[in-house]
Amino acid sequence: MVDLAPHRPLDGFQASPELGLKAGPAFVRYNLRAREAVLPTIANALGFALPQTACRSASLGDRHALWLGPDEWLLLCAPGDALGETLAAALSSSAHSLVEVSDRQTALIVSGPRAVELISAGCPLDLGLSAFPVGMCTRTLFGKAEIALWRTGEAAFHIDVWRSFAGYVWGVLEAAAAS
């Protein structure tokens, strides 16, 4: 019989606790594209306003919005959250694009005193706190993989990556830790 149980791309990956690397939470993900005119409707449905400042995030509970472009956000929410249905209903008469990308992407969490060093091994950005403060997010490259990088704490980062690149990103982070 074929096993149809959901498979997360990082199932089975283990890192030492002192490395600060682990698989991220099983968020439901939506790519949202919308014009400024519908932002109040989105804020009503979401429970908070989408970030309007470049490369910033906003959160309320288990719902998060990451600014990816002038009219594009990555929305994250807990499994079972009716966010997609709520937004689709609220925006039914408005021009927008709301696409669930949960099966395309997965997350890694990098935290601890070496977090900046490890991510810097594959990412060209200045990740110092003054240049990349808590709450900042951006789409960037990590080695050969496109990622969405979000600083969730002074020494904590959420990396959203296409599932086909998850093992690669994990391996580069482990190699950086070993060097």
Rounded Cα gap, residues 32 and 97, in angstroms? 6
- The phi, psi pair for 99, rounded to 5°, reads -125, 125
The full set of domains in the chain, from first to last, is 17-25+104-178 (3.30.1360.120), 28-100 (3.30.70.1520)
Percentage above 90 pLDDT, the chain? 84
37 CB burial (10 A radius; 0-12, 13-18, 19+): exposed
Looking at the predicted structure, is the pLDDT value of residue 16 above 70? Answer: no
User: Phi-psi region for residue 148, left (φ > 0), alpha (ψ -120 to 50) or beta?
Assistant: beta
Looking at the predicted structure, is the pLDDT value of residue 116 above 50? Answer: yes
Q: How far is CA 53 from the centre of its chain?
A: 17
Looking at the predicted structure, is the pLDDT value of residue 92 above 70? Answer: yes
Question: What number of helices (H) and strands (E) belong to the chain?
Answer: 4, 10
Angle made by CA atoms 72, 42, 139, in degrees to the nearest 5: 20
Per-residue pLDDT tens digits for 26-63: 899 999 999 999 999 999 999 999 999 999 999 999 99
Look at residue 19 in the predicted model and tell me its pLDDT: 79
Mean pLDDT for the chain overall: 92
Residue keyed to tokens 């093992």:
167
Look at residue 132 in the predicted model and tell me its pLDDT: 98
Per-residue pLDDT tens digits for 135-160: 999 999 999 999 999 999 999 999 99
Look at residue 17 in the predicted model and tell me its pLDDT: 67
Q: Residue 161: CB partners within 8 Å, gap ≥ 6?
A: 105, 106, 107, 108, 142, 145, 146, 147, 148, 169
Q: Residue 40: CB partners within 8 Å, gap ≥ 6?
A: none
Looking at the predicted structure, is the pLDDT value of residue 9 above 80? Answer: no
